[in-house]
Amino acid sequence: MKKNMISILILALLIVNVALTSVMMFSVMGTMKKTSRLIDGIASALSLEVADVAGSGDETTAEISMDDIEVYAIADQMTISLAKGADGETHYCLVSVSLSLNKQDPDYEKYAATVSEKEDLIKSEIFSVIQSHSIEEAESNPDMLREEILARIQQMYGSKFIYNVVFRDIMFS
């Protein structure tokens, strides 16, 4: 008789457990759906904002596929003295640079072959940009250096077929 009572008690507790679990599941599901909708709304608003920011800049960077990119690596590693900073000491930048060329740009056929011939002029632009910054500026914002170098090279060619500058290696001392 005691075994039957224990079995009935276990069965009753099991039914109560299932009932409470289902109540908890339904109450959490409603909140979870609302939270999911809120997160989806925030994510869609952020993706719109990111798309607006990306669209306001140079549109060619986002549209270039890997097949349409040619990388021109400047073979020499350059040692460039930096402008004197707050400490008044002379600092140096050791940098290796690569240029990304857009094969689909209309000026690619015209200028791509001349990149190696004009490498010294390109190096000169790289030197002048990096030399104009102190070590504090260069270390804190290397993207600023890349953007300035890119703008100077694009201005030199009068074209945007070179659309990105990449530092393969950059060290400051």
pLDDT (tens digit per residue) in 76-94: 889 999 988 888 888 999 9
pLDDT at 47: 62
Identify the helix (H) or strand (E) that includes residue 21: helix 2-56
CATH number at 63-172: 3.30.479.30
pLDDT at 57: 45
pLDDT at 10: 93
pLDDT at 40: 79
Q: Which residues pair with 80 in a beta bridge?
A: 93
pLDDT at 67: 82
Residue 15 in tokens: 């039914």
Q: Is the pLDDT of residue 49 over 60?
A: no
E strands, 11-157, in order: 69-73, 78-81, 92-102
Q: Is the pLDDT of residue 34 over 90?
A: no
The structural domains of the chain, with segments of one domain joined by +, span: 2-57, 63-172
Report, as an integer, the average pLDDT of 158-167: 90
Q: Is the pLDDT of residue 75 over 80?
A: yes
* 34-60 per-residue burial string, b: 16 or more CB within 10 A, e: under 16: eeeeeeeeeeeeeeeeeeeeeeeeeee
